[in-house]
Structure 1
């Protein structure tokens, strides 16, 4: 599976380490070729993920039996995991229900698009493109700000930036820090945490795969033995990356629930 990565050697026979450009195939339908933009593999996989997630939940809920079959049970368990472990536990039993669809959609969209990086021939997590991460974080950013304004009115900005119990002498400094932290740093870290983790993890897998290929094919003697070791290490990193892909989806949705909960409470 790992060996499906890039060619490991140049024409001169030397090792060629994978680079960022190796993750981006030519656009399928380029509309601004000079800027390298268009409809590409990443966009195609995003659409594929939406279709697969929609099919899964529609198919799992089609019969709605009192005694669920295996497929229905899997759909209900998946839904209830996000509903209860994230929505209900973080936002609170009183307010969580309206936000369950958003949390479920975000979790499975991110998890599946992350997992694409571990699927042979697809082999790219679409969230390793910063635009996808920015778009998801932007949706969450405007969601909790609008919720805060809807719940508290303009007073929300005071609730979000003026902590209670802070001495007046340092209050101006704390307010500035809170404004920068909540309204500028928060959306950036929310997106870059997902993007950077998926990008770096995929590059590590690419490096392990190309290094293994080079050592086993081009190496001699002890180099081939080292190739076996890198293969074992690459498989371990591959399995670890699959775990990180699910974990990052959970972390993103967990932070989303925390931000929503913070916009709904009366105290900062």
Structure 2
């Protein structure tokens, strides 16, 4: 997070916070801070998974105990409600997705790093496209091409004319455009907005208390710092919630393709 400074005028942080040049002059254009944080976060998730499950014991302790708690949470709160008997089969994907998104989000409140990877739209788009491709593939594989579109466009009990003229176009638009778009943007927008708010209150407190201290501005500066601290705690809750919701929707899409009758 970059704190904007000025001699006598406060400049609120803006979208420039999300514009990262290459790490050094002459580096590839794609080699930026978010990419390094993304790769580092993925390696951390792999290391934690190895530490938790490489040598499992009958009585879990330490990292294994923590890993099993996360596994049980994803299995019972995300996978089983939508996948039923297929939950265990899809747990590697869902657990990896949840842990990686959560860690990438939490990087936004780590001092010195302070940028949630998913505040860069490219990363949520990749996650959403993976979920989307799996959803369409499973739907066609388990229902057949004709059966998939029939179940999608003509639900039982709905008059054919109404389905053809109103329901089918809306459902096609939702399935192939709206659903993957909102799946990605929901995660991105929350991380983007949260990072911007934290940057604003942190910058305001720094400017009022350090750059331009005054008797009038000091109370506002203290308030800004207090709000930044409170917002950090709230942002961590939002970061967890968005990881949970993204994984939950992925499980719901997979379950709908595997079991269209539900």
TM-score (norm 2): 0.94
- Match for residue 68 of structure 1 among 60, 69, 80: 60
Distance in 2, Cα, partners of 1:247 & 1:13: 39
Distance in 1, Cα, partners of 2:238 & 2:88: 28
Answering whether residue 13 of structure 2 is matched by residue 18 of structure 1, we say yes
Matches within 5 A, 1:198-237: 198-217=191-210, 218-237=212-231
Contact 2:152 2:168 in 1 (8 A): no
Aligned to 1:175: 168
Task: Compute the RMSD of aligned alpha carbons.
Answer: 1.6
Distance in 2, Cα, partners of 1:73 & 1:211: 42
| Residues 151-160 or 100-109, more deviating | 151-160
Distance in 2, Cα, partners of 1:15 & 1:253: 40
Contact 2:154 2:160 in 1 (8 A): no
Shift of 1:143: 0.4
Aligned to 1:103: 94
Answering whether residue 98 of structure 2 is matched by residue 121 of structure 1, we say no
Alpha-carbon spacing, 1:262–1:30, altered in 2? closer, same or farther (3 Å): farther
Contact 2:153 2:163 in 1 (8 A): no
Contact 2:208 2:217 in 1 (8 A): yes
Alpha-carbon spacing, 1:31–1:105, altered in 2? closer, same or farther (3 Å): farther
| Residues 242-251 or 58-67, more deviating | 58-67
4+ residue stretches of structure 1 with deviation over 6 A? 30-33
Alpha-carbon spacing, 1:168–1:62, altered in 2? closer, same or farther (3 Å): closer
Answering whether residue 192 of structure 2 is matched by residue 196 of structure 1, we say no
Shift of 1:32: 8.4
Contact 1:29 1:38 in 2 (8 A): no
TM-score (norm 1): 0.92
Contact 1:18 1:203 in 2 (8 A): yes
Answering whether residue 82 of structure 2 is matched by residue 87 of structure 1, we say no
Shift of 1:258: 0.6
Shift of 1:150: 1.0
Alpha-carbon spacing, 1:9–1:50, altered in 2? closer, same or farther (3 Å): closer
Alpha-carbon spacing, 1:90–1:266, altered in 2? closer, same or farther (3 Å): closer
- Match for residue 58 of structure 1 among 50, 61, 84: 50
Contact 1:6 1:209 in 2 (8 A): no
Answering whether residue 23 of structure 2 is matched by residue 28 of structure 1, we say yes
Aligned to 1:261: 255
Please give the per-residue CA displacement for 1:104-150, whole angstroms capped at 9, x wherever unaligned.
Answer: 01101100001111101111011111111111100000001101111
Alpha-carbon spacing, 1:78–1:221, altered in 2? closer, same or farther (3 Å): same
Contact 1:8 1:213 in 2 (8 A): no
